[in-house]
Amino acid sequence: MQRRGFPFLIAFLLVFFSHLLCPRESRSDGIRLVGGYDLRFSDTTTTEKTTGTVTENETTQFTQRYELEVSKNIFPQLIFSGGGLVTFDQSDSTTNGVETDLDTRTLRPFAELRLNTPLYNAGLTYRDTEVKDTGTNQPTTRSFRDEYIAVLNWRPVGYPRFDATYTRTLTSNEPETLDRVEDLLSLSTRYSWEKLLFHYTYIVEDSEERVTDFETNRQSHFGKVGYGNEFFDRRLFLDTSYRVEYSTTEFSGEGSGVFPLTRTAGISSLDDTPEDGPALGANFALIDGNRQVSAGIDLGLDGDQTTLANIGIDFGFPATV
């Protein structure tokens, strides 16, 4: 996957000017600049008592960190901020005369535009992360992650509130074993009227694995109606709600996918002839997550080797597993 050099150029200039100006923190109007260094040494000798084997290890770790953030009010209600983070991690190790080293470079530029008004807020954000690893006797690897985020919040007085968020994430690496595109859209509204509260959220997630040609689509609906009141001079409180959740997951392309199923009950039966009944009975201990208390079924080499057992999970609807 080809990458343009613009993010790297930004990060390079960031490191250059950070090092040129000052390795410590300095501030001025709308500018934040931070630089730091961390150097660590370790020298250890380990002797294995049973064999007498001696292992000597010397390790040196040096980290450089540069961070720059600039903010500017373009208009009274429109704010731009941008900058980035650059880190260099160098690790050299010698174990019984064998030398190894690992160098990691991380670039994280970002840019953000925000609009704030009494009625609505909006924002656009871009973040980029690039990590390069180079080491002894291993190929150079790179990982990339780009995020694009758009946000809109509407706050009218006396009317339903509305929130919308869209996120697009691109993830890849070199050598290419991962090339993923993820899109997330979230729409939410909330409205209070008298003693009632109405809330609805819709989320759709699309994921495309380009290397394996596999796509996943998930859609979720969440609705809630709540009521709260007080009576008898605040001596009695009533709070109740009704909630509905519904979600779907679809797969397409080559490959396979995994998604969670909500279990409604555990079922089991201890029977020498389980094929002719009786029906399995409810056993909540199979799904409660408590691994300290027995569910009443003894399996394994130390268990009952003569009595047959049936165990299962009820999903509340027909399912293929």
Contact (Cβ atoms closer than 8 angstroms) between residue 294 and residue 283: no
pLDDT-derived band of residue 50, with 50, 70 and 90 as boundaries?
A: confident
Does the pLDDT of residue 139 top 80, yes or no?
yes
pLDDT-derived band of residue 24, with 50, 70 and 90 as boundaries?
A: very low
Contact (Cβ atoms closer than 8 angstroms) between residue 264 and residue 316: yes
Q: Residue 26 has what pLDDT? A: 40
DSSP class of residue 280 equals P
Q: Give the CA-trace dihedral at 93, 98, 99, 101, to 10 degrees.
A: -70
CA distance 188 to 224: 12
> What does the pLDDT look like over 89-104, one tens digit per residue?
999 998 888 888 999 9
The chain-wide mean pLDDT, for the chain, equals 82
pLDDT-derived band of residue 1, with 50, 70 and 90 as boundaries?
A: very low
Percent of the chain at pLDDT above 70?
Answer: 76
Instruction: Please give the model's pTM, rounded to 2 decimal places.
Output: 0.70
Name the residue with tokens 């001696």: 54
> What does the pLDDT look like over 147-205, one tens digit per residue?
999 999 999 988 999 999 999 999 999 988 889 999 999 999 999 988 899 999 999 99
Q: Residue 171 has what pLDDT? A: 94
Q: Residue 49 has what pLDDT? A: 84
Does the pLDDT of residue 4 top 50, yes or no?
no
Which residues, 6+ apart, have CB-to-CB distance to 249 below 8 Å?
216, 217, 218, 257, 259
pLDDT-derived band of residue 268, with 50, 70 and 90 as boundaries?
A: confident
pLDDT-derived band of residue 256, with 50, 70 and 90 as boundaries?
A: low
Q: How far apart are the first and last CA of the chain?
A: 36
The two tokens of residue 310 are: 């049936």
pLDDT: is 318 or 59 the higher one?
Answer: 59
Q: Residue 311 has what pLDDT? A: 74
Does the pLDDT of residue 292 top 90, yes or no?
no
> What does the pLDDT look like over 62-84, one tens digit per residue?
999 999 999 988 888 899 999 99
Backbone angle region of 114, left / alpha / beta, with phi > 0 → left and psi within -120 to 50 → alpha: beta
According to the per-residue pLDDT averaged within each range, which of 45-59, 121-135, 303-317 is highest?
121-135
* 3 state DSSP class of 132: strand
Does the pLDDT of residue 12 top 60, yes or no?
no
pLDDT-derived band of residue 27, with 50, 70 and 90 as boundaries?
A: very low
Does the pLDDT of residue 263 top 60, yes or no?
yes
